[in-house]
Structure 1
Amino acid sequence: MTRFLSTPPLDPRLTDGVLPRRFLALLVDCLVLSMLGSVAALLIAVFGVLTLGIGWLAFHVIPLIPLVYYTLLIGSSGATPGQRLAGLTVRQDDDWTARPNLAQALVWAVLLWLSFVLVGIPFLLALLNPRGRATHDILSGLVIIRAT
């Protein structure tokens, strides 16, 4: 089955030097996430005191912050602030001109954090892949390229 409007093949120059940029982007995003988590924890602590301890149940929301952060930012704008700072953008693999949808961004975010739980072993695929794609990129159908 051929596509009516096919996209041109991905230019290899768009994926050159992506791995160091991805690492920088991850560091920036982790810094932003730690600030968001700290502010959320402070607000929940104050809310818990004001509600005589009942509000402290909201601390269970804090682990969802990275999931929401990555899903909304990648699904809407195609890049997180760290990725924008590093000059990267996230695109669909089969149509690299299209931004990811929210479902792909959610799968990408869940698999990203699952990769951390698995002690980073799924990240090793990025070292072997010529396009620098990690396991969570391949399984979600996304590719990270240089922003043009």
Structure 2
Amino acid sequence: MSNDPRAVTAPNSGLQTRGVLGGRFVAYLVDLCVIAVLTFVLAVVIALLGVVTLGIAWLLFPILAATGVFYSIATVGGRRQATIGMRLFGLKVTGQNGTRVDPIIAGAHALFFYVAASTMLLLALDILIGLVRDDRRLLHDLLTGVTVVRVGV
């Protein structure tokens, strides 16, 4: 951990949260690209399966809307506790006191974020809360009890 007296730490964990908001934004842009590729690949697979099953597999197309949530469950709820974008920017998601986030919490965290992102008002509130809090936790972080922290600092 850094000896910087201005460093802000997550409550009761000693993990650094200073400077995570900018990294989260850029990491999310990277993750959007990854999710877009995953969605495209899944759409092609479902389309081909639909041809083989005479259209029955096409009923799976609505699950493509949840690709981002499944991506978070697999990455944030996984061993590394971070999406690909987060890893690129030295971030990870932790639970209370720096504990690991389970897949259910990771999915709920992503779902709350996508609900907030679907409306400008909720997204603005989500970001505003992160800007005024010392630990830089956004509203959907608070609702799920997680903290995004810097690793290797």
Report TM bin, short chain.
0.7 to 0.9
Indicate if the aligned counterparts of 1:75 and 1:104 stay in contact, CA closer than 8 A: yes
Alignment of 1:1-148 (within 5 A): 9-11=12-14, 14-77=16-79, 78-92=81-95, 94-96=96-98, 98-119=99-120, 120-121=123-124, 122-148=126-152
CA RMSD of aligned residues (A): 1.7
Q: CA deviation at 1:10?
A: 4.0
1: CA distance, partners of 2:63 / 2:104: 21
The 10-residue stretch of structure 1 (80-89 or 56-65) with the greater mean CA deviation from structure 2: 56-65
1:144 aligned counterpart, secondary structure: strand
Indicate if the aligned counterparts of 1:15 and 1:131 stay in contact, CA closer than 8 A: yes
Q: CA deviation at 1:69?
A: 0.9
For structure 1, the residue ranges without an aligned partner over 5 or more in a row are 1-7
TM normalised by structure 2 equals 0.83
2:7 corresponds to: none
Q: CA deviation at 1:91?
A: 0.7
The AA in structure 2 aligned to 1:40 is: L
| Corresponding residue pairs, total | 138
CA shift digits 1:72-131 (9 cap, x unpaired): 211122111110011001111x312x1112232122111111111222222221121222
2: CA distance, partners of 1:114 / 1:29: 17
Indicate if the aligned counterparts of 1:115 and 1:123 stay in contact, CA closer than 8 A: no
TM normalised by structure 1 equals 0.85
2:137 aligned counterpart, secondary structure: coil
1: CA distance, partners of 2:119 / 2:147: 21
2:77 aligned counterpart, secondary structure: helix
For structure 2, the residue ranges without an aligned partner over 5 or more in a row are 1-10
Q: CA deviation at 1:52?
A: 2.3
Identity %: 34
